Structure formats: C-alpha cells, structure tokens
Amino acid sequence: MTAQDVARVDAALPVPAARKGEEWWRIVWRNAFPFIVVGAIWEIIAHLGLFNPRLFPPLEDIAAAFIRLTLDGILPYHAFETILRLISGFLIAAVVGLAIGFAMGRWRLAEDMLLPPVAITAPIPGFAYAPLFLLWFGLGNFPTILLVAFVSMFPIIFNTWTGVKAVKEIWLRAAGAMGADNQQMFRHVILPGALPYILTGMRLGLAQAWRVLVGVEMLAAVSWGLGWLIFGAREFLNTDVMLAGVAVIGIIGLALEKLVFQNLENYTVVRWGMMK
C-alpha cells in the first residue's frame, strides 16, 4: 500500500456499486431509501413548527426556490460565473504546477531550490491567504482567480514531482538504448509514466480549488457566484435560497468528480493499462 492508494480513497467518491444479479429497481430503491428517510425527518421537523419556517423551510419551499431561481436564470448565471472562475484558476494552476513539478522531478537543482519554499507555503490553509490576496490585489475576480490558482497548484506540484520521480529507471534506460531523444523520452516515457500521479494531483487540486472558491466568493465582493448567493441570502433570511444554492454546489462538485475526472482517467491511464 502506498500513500497514493490511500489518497485515492479520499479523492474518489464511493458510490455503491451494483451487485451481481440485482435488478435495476432494487439498486435505485437501495440508494434512494436513505434520502427518503432523511427527507421525511426533515419534513416532520419543518412542519412541527419547532423552528421558524424562515430558518428551517420545508423541502417543498426549497424545491420551489430552486425551480423559481432556475427558471429566472439567476441560479444558472451564478453557477456559470463560479464555474468560469474555477476553470480559469485551475488552468493557471495546472500549467504552473505541471511546469514546476516536472522541473523538480527532472533537475536536482530545481528540486533543491523549489522544495523549501513550496513545502513552507503549501501546508497553510489556502483560505488564510485570502485576506492577503484581497489586500494586495483588490476585490473582485482577479484575487479570487489568483487564490484558486495558488491553492490548487500545490497538489499538482507534489503529485507531478512524485510521478516523474516514480518513472522506472529501467524504462528510461530502455528508451535511451533504443535511441529516444529528449523530446521522445518526455512524450512517450515520462509523461505516460507519471500520468496516474498527475491525474490524482489534478483531482485533488480541483477539489481544493472548489472548496476555497466557494468560501472566497463570500468575501471577495464579486457580483455573481454561488458562494456570494448563499452568503447574500443570509442577510434576507432566505434559507430556502441558501439551501437551493448549497444543493447546486453539491451537484457541481459531484459532476466535476464523476464526469470530468473519471472519463479523463478512463481515456488515458486505464486504457494504457497503467491503472486498473
């Protein structure tokens, strides 16, 4: 067992797999049952009137808020802005993180020089840098995207670095003996060899970016965004809007994990037989 295997447990969302010989409706029921129980408990508490319905709205109100805001186009626009920030920040992080990670993996000088500053800045929670970024770069989109990039860069650096170092020496020597030049070595040996690690790094980086982005949107005074939506709704006690926003945040988080990275993984490392 390696640290990578264990890290995967955290990165990959476990969704109960279908068991052999189980009909589809049983699978649906098995997965829906807990939500029905929790939903029923929620409804009972909400309708008992123990709490103010403004603060603890029944599910039908939350669903109504969700539908109303979606049809208005408000919720999709908030989500769109948030995703745009996430993607811009993450792309910067991927480019910079891969470059630094490869440099550290390939050259001893780069490793020696870059490791101490990276190791010192990485463990501090990304959110703690937020006020500094706001102070230095003002409010709005620029510091938000920069902070997202900064935070998601570290897992990408560490995993790329580990991945490049984990490429087997014998593959490099075999490719060298077969006359591969530097460029071919990189494209055909190092990159595929390091890719399982790199993808894990990107996955962890994106998850961190997502977590910090939602928080920073509450503080950076951006005009649109899901974090801002739920934080702003608090002022007006619109708990139904807040919970609808939280649900959208969960759906996007799940989609990022399931649709983006699992497909990417299936098309690359799984197909190449690097990983089962």
Partner 1 sequence: MTFSLSPDQFRSLWRGALSLCLIAALYETIARSGYFPTVLMPPIPVVASTFWTVMTDGTMIHHAASTLYRVLIGFGMAVVVGIPLGILMARYQRVENFVLPLASALMPIPSLAWVPVFILWFGLGNTVSILVVFYAATFPMLLNTWSGVRSVNPLWLRAAGAMGANENALFWKVIIPGASPFIITGVRQAFLRAWIAVVGAEALAASDWGLGWVIFDAKEFLNADLMLASLAVIGIIGFAFERLVFGTLERQTVLRWGMVKAAKG
Residues that bind partner 1 (CB under 8 A): 1, 3, 6, 9-10, 13-16, 30-35, 37-38, 55-56, 108-109, 111-117, 120, 123-132, 134-136, 210-212, 214-215, 218-219, 226-227, 230-231, 233-234, 237, 239, 242-243, 245-246, 249-254, 256-257
**Tokens 């989609």 found at:** 255
Q: Cα–Cα distance between 161 and 194 in angstroms, integer?
A: 9
No. of helices (H) and no. of strands (E), the chain: 13, 0
According to DSSP H, which parts of 73-181 are helical? 74-106, 108-121, 130-137, 141-166, 169-177
One-letter identity of residue 268: T
Q: Cα–Cα distance between 195 and 98 in angstroms, integer?
A: 11
Q: How far is the CB of 251 from partner 1 (least distance, A)?
A: 8
Q: How far is the CB of 5 from partner 1 (least distance, A)?
A: 9
Q: Cα–Cα distance between 26 and 271 in angstroms, integer?
A: 31
Nearer to partner 1, 44 or 174 (CB): 44
Nearer to partner 1, 92 or 111 (CB): 111
Query: Dihedral of CA 146/149/152/153: which sign?
Result: negative
Nearer to partner 1, 68 or 211 (CB): 211
Q: How far is the CB of 31 from partner 1 (least distance, A)?
A: 5
Nearer to partner 1, 71 or 254 (CB): 254
Q: Cα–Cα distance between 42 and 44 in angstroms, integer?
A: 6
Q: State which H helix or E strand residue 137 sits in.
A: helix 130-137
Q: How far is the CB of 16 from partner 1 (least distance, A)?
A: 5
Nearer to partner 1, 12 or 84 (CB): 12
Nearer to partner 1, 48 or 177 (CB): 48
One-letter identity of residue 12: A
Q: How far is the CB of 66 from partner 1 (least distance, A)?
A: 15
Q: How far is the CB of 190 from partner 1 (least distance, A)?
A: 21
